[in-house]
Structure 1
């Protein structure tokens, strides 16, 4: 008799292990007046998620590039409070998914609306956690349930390409010496340098979250501060989405800036562009060049914070 798979793992996570691409969970359904970005936002909200933004990218695409390949292209940033609290309290780098992204899109000439998220497998890989992490598995189940409630009748879409091995570390990390007595002042200086430096390199701050506020409300007093910045470079998502619309599961990218109590280092961490390249199996020279430039520009900006 074969052993029964543990019920801790949701069915969709188990299925994703055998799909063509186990790092992206994507659903599609015929578009109607009742199904779209608004219905998905309502579904996530009703399921207990905090929706930090639901941005229509078509306007910016048309304004900056003169056209869009999409009828709908939204990037919705969300987090589930209990799951996020559990992850950040146990794994200091988990703030890179506080919030995380839900991509919602419909191509011109196609009557299907799609919505997708990164899988628990992908998030575990990026954060260096066990692939059967119970919190991530439960969060994936909730994500799927919310998508299906916002898109009744949607079916799982199996992507026809396989992610490639990561050639570099999935997270980019920086540390700055920080006296705990002066940490708050230093944090303000560092964040000012980052915020002032975003626009010149084509980035925007899509969301800011003082996550330590929520941790303290829950009685978790681990950090002096814990801030997250969700960053997006329009040219990157515009270029890559032409080839892989599901790339929006990575955008905006969330950077965590934090310092633990008792430590003398401020840390900055974010998922780098090599995740895009590997998960999306990208070959296109223009898309790769845009991603490499974005990575180099952010690294250079963060280096300035230590000067």
Structure 2
């Protein structure tokens, strides 16, 4: 790597609290929320949902018809309608960045838009306020996080008129798996290089490693904030993981594409790299199929291995 030597400082695996499912599900207690409405006439589409979100100030940057991808790649689809989309509200993210760089773990947020073909409903799954708080470690009582969740709620009601939240009752298992996977490194500047130049070079190498092993980057963000030298986030997906997971857990789109953040505060030497541990899907969604679990672990291990190699 030109003009750079990187000192590997540490890898942190931050343990999340174990959450057990209750017999009577409570939307507020679940990490994922599913908003649903009858769509027998087919009037509500992924595009109309995107339009409603944008009009509500929650901007959809990518909205992909996954069935067009799945049918070509795997020759089969699980649901008549299945889209994965990512969205943000720049104002809320900027406000939360001031105190909580962990907001990058859910920037962008993601959602799945899917049909329940037996019930003729259209459904949108996203993180709930509880899920946003749990992943970022931002208190659920934080007024800015609450406002962000309210914006999302308003967008869902506008997109699916007369809709309602379903009772979510995933068989969430107590787990010691790390909630997030984190790396810290220091960039040592050489030959007059700047932090921005070194960061760009690091990210180029990172992106080059992802494609050959099946990861795609639907979008990346370079956020500006006075407290940071840089704050970049990636939306990342691996089809070989989300395809089998979505068969029985179409609401997994609340977790995928997953977000990875790379940032450096101006008053610190440390560069932080964080993403929500992908193998947590197994416990949080109650995944039991062995082949699906194998692909989820593979997805976690490969991206963790890439970052370990780049930070050696």
TM-score where L is the length of structure 2: 0.86
Residues 1:202 and 2:214 aligned together: yes
Q: Which residue of 1 aligns with 2:234?
A: 229
Q: Which of the residues 88, 96, 102 maps onto 2:97?
A: 88
Q: Which residue of 2 aligns with 1:193?
A: 205
Q: Which residue of 1 aligns with 2:32?
A: 24
Q: After the TM superposition, which residues 1-307 of structure 1 pair with which residues of structure 2 at under 5 Å, given as runs?
A: 18-19=26-27, 22-31=30-39, 32-179=41-188, 182-212=194-224, 215=225, 221-307=226-312
Greater CA drift, 181-190 or 193-202: 181-190
Question: 1:71 aligns to what SS in structure 2?
Answer: coil
- Summarize deviations over 1:246-268 as a string: whole Å, max 9, x none: 00100110101111112222211
1:21 Cα offset (Å)? 6.1
Change beyond 3 A, Cα 1:93–1:21: closer
Larger relative helix fraction: 1
- Write the distance in 2 (CA, Å) between the matches of 1:223 and 1:174: 17
- Write the distance in 2 (CA, Å) between the matches of 1:108 and 1:197: 38
- Summarize deviations over 1:164-201 as a string: whole Å, max 9, x none: 33422211111221247632222112111111111121
- Write the distance in 1 (CA, Å) between the matches of 2:144 and 2:179: 20
Return 5+ residue gaps in structure 2 as ranges: 1-23
- Write the distance in 1 (CA, Å) between the matches of 2:173 and 2:27: 14
Is the CA contact (8 Å cut-off) linking 1:254 and 1:270 kept in structure 2? yes
Higher relative contact order (CA 8 A, sep 6+): 2
Q: Which runs of 4+ in 1 moved over 6 A?
A: none
Question: 1:70 aligns to what SS in structure 2?
Answer: coil
Greater CA drift, 186-195 or 157-166: 157-166
Change beyond 3 A, Cα 1:17–1:70: closer
Is the CA contact (8 Å cut-off) linking 1:99 and 1:230 kept in structure 2? yes
Greater CA drift, 158-167 or 258-267: 158-167
Question: 2:296 aligns to what SS in structure 1?
Answer: helix
Q: Which residue of 2 aligns with 1:10?
A: none
What is the aligned-residue RMSD (CA, Å)? Answer: 1.9
Return 5+ residue gaps in structure 1 as ranges: 1-15, 216-220
Larger relative strand fraction: 2
